[in-house]
Amino acid sequence: MPVSSPAAPEIGRPATAWWRRGWLRQTALLLLAMSCGVLVANNPFRPSSENPDATARGYLRFKEILSYVDRDYADSVDTEGLADYAVVQMLEKLDPHSVYIPARDREKTDSFLQSDYDGVGIEFNLFRDTMTVVAPLSGGPAEQAGVQPGDQILSLGGKRVSGARLTTARLTELLRGPRGSSVVLELRRRHQPRPLSLSIARSRIPNTSVDAAYLVDEQTGYIKVSRFASNTYDEFKAALADLRRQGLTRLVLDLRGNPGGYLDRATRLADEFIAGSRKIVYTDGKGEQYDSQTYARVAGEFEEGALVVLVDEGSASAAEVVAGALQDHDRALLVGRRTFGKGLVQQPIALSDGGELRLTIARYYTPAGRSIQKPYGANYAEYSAELTGRSARGELQSADSVHFAKALRFRTDHGRTVYGGGGIMPDIFVPRDTLAHSAYYTRLLSRGVARAFALNFYQGHKAELEGLRFEQFNATFRITDAQLVSLAAQAAQVGVNTDVAAVRRCAPLLRNLLKAFIARSAYGPVAYYTVLREQDPELQRALHAVNDSTAQLALLGK
C-alpha cells in the first residue's frame, strides 16, 4: 500500500470501509483479489502423470539456461530473482489469479486472513510523512499504555519514523513483533512541551473481519464483513446472535469491497440464511479430485426475515459465492453494482524454499449454474484495467450499460432471470456517487487531509465531546463553512490546490466525512458507521428495500 494511503491500522489493511470506495483502491482491490481470492483447504499436492516427458523437458531446459546465465553472462546476475521473474511470467500465461508468493512475503500475505496477530494495537494515518494515531484498539496494549488519538509517533524502537518516507507496510512491521517483546514509542502530543516515551509490551491483537454490527432501528440490523478470514464465521455468528437478542427481524449484510478469502467460511455464513439442504456452490476442476458440491446443512440463525446484501465492483470471489447463492435461491435482494467477477479457486501449495504457490485448480459456480469469472486472455494488463474500463463504458452509472450474453441466462428458484459470465449483477442498481470519486475529493482522502483535520479538531475539543452522548453529538454537531475553508487551506499546504467550486460541490460529503471521523475518535467505530450512512446512497437504498416488504416479495417473485 503506498505511503500516501490514509488511515491504515497496524495490520496493514485499510482502516475503514470508506477508503475502499475511492479511485485509488482499484489497484489494491485487484491485488487483494489475486493474492486472496477463494482459498480452499490445503490438500497434498500430487504432480500430474498425464504428460511427464514434456514436464521433464521443460524443467531441464530452464535449468540449463539458468546455469549458463549464472556461469557465463557478461555481468553478475541475481539468479534467484531471475527465477522468480520467470515463475511470475509463466503463471500469468495461465490465468490472472495463479500467483507465486516468495517466502519473504508470505507472512504479510497470510496476515490478511489471520484472526489475530502480535503487536501493540494501533490504527494509524500518514499525513505529511508523519505517523498519526487514529485510535488505539480497544483493550490493546497501546490503549493500556495511554496512547491517544492524535498522538504523532516520532520513533519506533529507537528508529526515526517521522519524515523518514517509510511505507505503511514498513511501519506496520515495526509495530508488530513477537508476543511479550517490547517496543519504545516516542510520541508528540498536543499541548505537551516535550515528546513522551512509552515502552509497550506486544500482545495478541484480534484481527477482526466484521467491521461493524449494530441496529439501525428497533428491527433493522446492519453487519459489515470486510473479508472471509479464519475467524469471520465465528465473529459473524456472534454479531448476528447479539442483534437477534436486541430485536433484529431484518438485516442488511454489507459485502462491498470484500475481496474474498476462505471458501468454507463464506459457505458457512451463507448457510445461516439458506434453509433446508439447498446447494450453495459447486466447483469443477480437472478430473474429479477438485470437483465439489457444498450444500446448506445446519439450521441457520436467520433463515426467515427480510435480507438485503450490498455489493459493488470490489466484492470478489468468496463474497460473490455468498451473493450468488442468496440471489439464486431468492433469499435476498442484492443492492449496488456488478461484482468484480472472480470465479477461480486457488489452492495454496507450500514450496520447499518457504514460498507458496496459489494455483487455480477449479472454477466455482452458483447453485443455478452460473460461472462468475469474467473473461480473461493472454493480455494481463487489459484484465488489470477492467474495472477502469467499466467506468469508461458507463457501467458504474447506469444499469443499461451493463451487457450480458443471452446464452448465459439462468433462472433463480422463483424464475427470475440472472446472468453468468462476469460477476453478480444486483437486483437493484445504485450508480456510483460521482462526487465521492471526483478528483478533488479523492486527492483530499489520498493525502490524509480530512483525517488529520478531524483528529486535530478532536484533540482541541476533547473535553466538550466527552461531555456529550453520541446521540446528542449526532443530532446537533455540524461542520461549518469556515471549517471547510480551513480544510481547503490545509490541503493546499500539501499540494492539493484549492478548487472553490469543487469544495462547494463536495460540501455535504465533506461535512459528513469529517463528522464521521470525529465520531470515530470520540465514540468508536459504530458511531463512525452511523454517521456515514447519511451520505451513503447504496446503504440508504438497501435500508429502503429491506423495510419495504411489498417490494421484496414482488422482486423475489414470491
H/E stretch holding 39: strand 38-39
Q: Which three cell numbers stand for residue 75?
A: 555481468
* Residue type at 444 in one-letter notation: L
Active site (annotated) includes residue 328? yes
Task: Look at residue 37 in the predicted model and tell me its pLDDT.
Answer: 61
Q: Which triple of cell numbers denotes residue 62?
A: 530452464
- The answer to whether residue 342 is catalytic is yes
Q: CB of 284 within 8 A of CB of 388? A: no
**What are the cell numbers at 222?**
446492519
Question: Can you give the pLDDT at residue 185?
Answer: 93
The letter for the amino acid at 116 is D
Q: What pLDDT, on a 0 to 100 scale, did the predictor assign at position 39?
A: 60
| Regions of the chain short of the pLDDT cut 50 | 1-25, 27, 29-31, 41, 43-45
Residue with cell string 549458463: 68
Give the whole-angstrom CA distance, residue 141 versus residue 205: 9
The pLDDT value given to residue 24:
42
Single out the catalytic residue among 155, 315, 317, 521: 317
Q: Are 149 and 135 in contact (CB under 8 A)?
A: yes
Q: What is the pLDDT of residue 270?
A: 98
Look at residue 40 in the predicted model and tell me its pLDDT.
58
Alpha-carbon gap, residue 254 to 426, rounded angstroms: 13
Selection from 256, 254, 208, 212 nearest residue 231 by Cα: 208
State residue 480's pLDDT score.
96
Q: For position 45, what pLDDT does the model report?
A: 45
pLDDT tens digits for range 407-427: 899 999 999 999 998 899 999
